Amino acid sequence: MVKQLVFTITLLVSFGVFFFTVNRFISYFKFTRPAFKVRDYYKRFRITFEVAIGQTKIFRRPIIGFFHALVFWGFCVIAFGSIEMVIDGIFGTERFLKFLGPLYKVISASGDIFGLLVAISIIIFLSRRLFFHIRRFEGVEMKSISHYDANLALTMILLLMISLLVMNMAYTAKIIGSGGSMSGVYPVSSLFAGLFSGWSTSQIVFTYECCWWSHILLILLFANILPYSKHFHVFMSIPNVFLSRLDPLGKLENMDNITREVKLMLDPGFVFTASEVPVPVDRFGVKDIEDISWKNYLDSLACTECGRCTSVCPANLTGKRLSPRKIMMDVRARMKHKGPGIVKNGKGFSDNKSLLWDYIQEEELWACTTCNACVMECPININHPALIVDMRRYLVMEEAKAPGGIKGMFSNIENNGAAWQFSQDDRLRWAEDIELQQN
């Protein structure tokens, strides 16, 4: 009874802290701008199963992708065991889900096997970070805290797997020693249960209880650390994939407020529908965090900082300052710094800084070719160019700032109706000497 009471209190405190954190993120989403309407659910579920569950984009790097997929699938399977532990902790039962019969044997065996596979994968990940120089793990945006964050999360996952395996070993040894009936199947733990030979029953039970508490407390601690870590993608990646932008890559969204103005200029008699009634525009494009859409912010929270986007960015590869990963990290950092002030004081709050210039420089934005290589490579379908283009729109439309070559193009469009530097009357001169033959 004491165990149940202590566990229930611990669980409630952990849930309270977690939901307090979640509510803070929700409050930040409330002052972001609308993005797109969520439609075509069939296509979204298909993409989610392919990209998030099937980990298809991770396998672009087949070897390390395979180990990452093992970790993801392992978490999915082991989650059933974690749910069972919560139920056992609250109601004082043991192996509550055993009523599932043959299905429980499959779940327990899968969890035991994946516990070992995930542990091996995490050791490989830690070794790569500690002993090998992986270029995509480096960059001006990757501060020491980013590396500590990654190492801490990987260490906690490794401890989770070790506590799970030792707990299963102790349980197997306890059942074998007492001659009782075992609930579930534990192929990996059964192989190592002999390590407890010569131990008394009380020692085995003590080891089991220590591992049980260690495992469940690590889960609760890990869940509350994640929102403050780059590993928040454990929670956010699947929703982000489900809410992927479904338009073809390279398509640039029109700005509704500009579209309305163009319609009025071309047709003064144009009548707005109810959904098109003009509304006051605070700002064209994106200057600061309150100008981004909810999808931009969701992308930043889901970012794993894996560097796959930056590693394929042609601008970055040619020595330019642009790093798509940095763009996402800057959005997340800016919201962390300014978000509380906006929640407290409203959207008019200013700390005399902005996402543009204080975090992201113009040089970074204009280096982007909108080739969408970063989107193609991102394992969770983050759309970096959408935000970059919106920030460039602010520079052009509000600050009249653009590189010289682009300004020349703007002048040509204004004067000649085209991007080229010759009048409309001369457009077809290139075809004067061409003879057309009819068949």
Q: ∠ at Cα 70 (67, 72), nearest 5°? A: 115
**pLDDT at position 280:** 58
Continuous segment of H or E residues that includes residue 117: helix 102-131
Confidence of residue 392 (pLDDT cuts 50, 70, 90): very high
Q: 3-state class of 33 per DSSP?
A: strand
**pLDDT at position 277:** 55
Q: 3-state class of 400 per DSSP?
A: coil
Q: For the chain, give the mean pLDDT.
A: 91
Two domains, one topology: 2-30+61-242 and 256-417: no
- Mean pLDDT within 109-115: 96
pLDDT for 329-358, tens place per residue? 999 999 999 999 999 998 889 999 999 999
pLDDT for 163-174, tens place per residue? 999 999 999 999
Of 313, 330, 308, 327, the C-alpha closest to 387 is: 327
424-433 burial, b at 16+ Cβ within 10 Å, e below that, comes to eeeeeeeeee
Task: State phi, psi for 248 to the nearest 5 degrees.
Answer: -60, 145
CB of 302 within 8 A of CB of 337? no
Task: Enumerate the domain spans of the chain.
Answer: 2-30+61-242, 256-417
Asked if pLDDT for residue 124 goes beyond 80, the answer is yes
pLDDT for 227-261, tens place per residue? 998 889 989 999 999 999 999 988 888 887 777 77
**pLDDT at position 244:** 96
> What are 151's two structure tokens?
């190492």
**pLDDT at position 422:** 78
Asked if pLDDT for residue 423 goes beyond 90, the answer is no
Ranges 5-9, 203-207, 264-268: which has the least confidence: 264-268
- Mean pLDDT within 393-421: 87
Confidence of residue 278 (pLDDT cuts 50, 70, 90): low
Asked if pLDDT for residue 270 goes beyond 80, the answer is no
What DSSP character marks residue 135? G
CA-CA distances (angstroms) from residue 200 to 95, 181, 204, 386?
22, 19, 6, 63
Asked if pLDDT for residue 204 goes beyond 70, the answer is yes
pLDDT for 300-333, tens place per residue? 999 999 999 999 999 999 999 999 999 999 999 9
Kindly give, in sequence order, each residue whose CB lies less than 8 Å from that of residue 235, ignoring residues fewer than 6 positions away.
Answer: 226, 227
pTM of the model: 0.90
What percent of the chain is modeled with pLDDT above 70?
Answer: 96
Task: State phi, psi for 398 to the nearest 5 degrees.
Answer: -105, -30
Q: ∠ at Cα 86 (84, 89), nearest 5°? A: 110
Whose structure tokens read 């609760």? 220
Q: What CATH number has the domain spanning 256-417?
A: 1.10.1060
Please tell me the chain's helix, strand, coil percentages from 3-state DSSP, rounded to the nearest 5: 70, 0, 30
Asked if pLDDT for residue 264 goes beyond 90, the answer is no
Of 375, 368, 387, the C-alpha closest to 244 is: 375
What CA–CA distance (Å, rounded) separates 154 from 125?
A: 8
Fold for 2-30+61-242, please state it.
Answer: Fumarate Reductase Cytochrome B subunit (1.20.950)
- Mean pLDDT within 2-8: 92
**pLDDT at position 283:** 84
Of 179, 172, 180, the C-alpha closest to 204 is: 172
What CA–CA distance (Å, rounded) separates 253 from 293?
A: 13
